[in-house]
């Protein structure tokens, strides 16, 4: 079981543009490794901006083909606000210290991986407590010039350990790193 930050980034290190848009990423479609990745995930965590993006995306699809909450796994959403729930989705709203939440996620994942969807600072909070095992970062061939940062933390000495670098669809490079343990 691992705790993984699996995300896509622009070449200049942003996971969303300054107005939280993802068009720069969605123009490429989904990477072909996602079905294998999600099969091994037992619990999901995200911050409120990411959750609100998913909510807005579901709303945008109204009138088009029916879309549903994308995760079968229990999902913990970090927020200090009262956010709308999604009928039928196993979403738990939490706030504050990530450590007790991570403990519950690991228990409920029952041997599967914990996926930290983002954003970057939330993942940084898990890093601060030594709770992140792997970064799996798909680099898209675009630059954004600003936006939501990939991981606004200093992890330099010891550095991340490169596990693999693979190309996908002649478009993306996917980098997999292990986070060093003290
Ligand atoms: N490229 C990709 O694959 C990818 C992946 C994931 C996300 N994204 C995008 O990246 C952007 C990330 O947005 P973001 O940087 O704002 O990050 P975020 O983590 O989605 O949201 C940050 C917000 O979550 C809440 N939060 C974070 N930690 C908390 C804690 N410990 N306790 C309580 N609340 C907490 C706070 O809001 P409140 O307390 O005010 O609610 C905070 O402002 C979004 O646009 C998302 O759609 C892209």
Question: pLDDT tens-digit profile of 110-152?
Answer: 999 999 999 999 999 999 999 999 999 999 999 999 999 999 9
Cα(28) to centroid(ligand 1), Å = 23
What average pLDDT does this structure show over 39-56?
96
Ligand 1, atom 46, residue with closest C-alpha = 50
Which H or E run includes 98?
helix 98-109
28 lines ligand 1 (CB under 6 A): no
Cα(94) to centroid(ligand 1), Å = 13
Instruction: State if pTM tops 0.85.
Output: yes
Ligand 1, atom 17, residue with closest C-alpha = 119
User: In testing the pocket of ligand 1, which one of 27, 48, 142 has its CB within 8 Å of the most ligand atoms?
Assistant: 48
Distance between CA atoms of 110 and 112, rounded to whole angstroms? 6
Percent of the chain at pLDDT exceeding 70: 97
The CA-to-CA distance between both ends of the chain, in Å, stands at 19
Distance between CA atoms of 150 and 5, rounded to whole angstroms? 10
Find all residues with CB under 8 Å of 83, minimum gap 6, and list them.
48, 51, 52, 77, 93
pLDDT at 66 over 80: no
């Amino acid at each position: 079981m691992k705790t993984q930050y699996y995300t896509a980034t622009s070449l200049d290190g942003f996971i969303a543009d300054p107005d939280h848009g993802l068009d720069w990423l969605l123009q490429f479609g989904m990477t072909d490794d996602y079905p294998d990745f999600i099969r091994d995930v037992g619990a999901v965590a995200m911050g409120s901006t990411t959750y609100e993006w998913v909510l807005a995306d579901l709303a945008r699809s109204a009138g088009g083909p029916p879309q549903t909450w994308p995760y079968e796994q229990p999902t913990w959403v970090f927020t200090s606000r009262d956010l709308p729930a999604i009928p039928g989705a196993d979403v738990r709203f939490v706030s504050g210290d990530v450590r007790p939440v991570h403990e519950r996620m690991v228990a409920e994942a029952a041997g599967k991986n914990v996926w930290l969807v983002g954003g970057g600072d939330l993942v940084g909070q898990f890093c601060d407590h030594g709770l992140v095992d792997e970064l799996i970062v798909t680099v898209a061939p675009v630059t954004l010039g600003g936006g939501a940062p990939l991981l606004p933390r200093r992890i330099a000495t010891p550095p991340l350990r490169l596990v693999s670098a693979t190309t996908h669809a002649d478009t993306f490079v996917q980098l997999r790193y292990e986070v060093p343990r003290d």
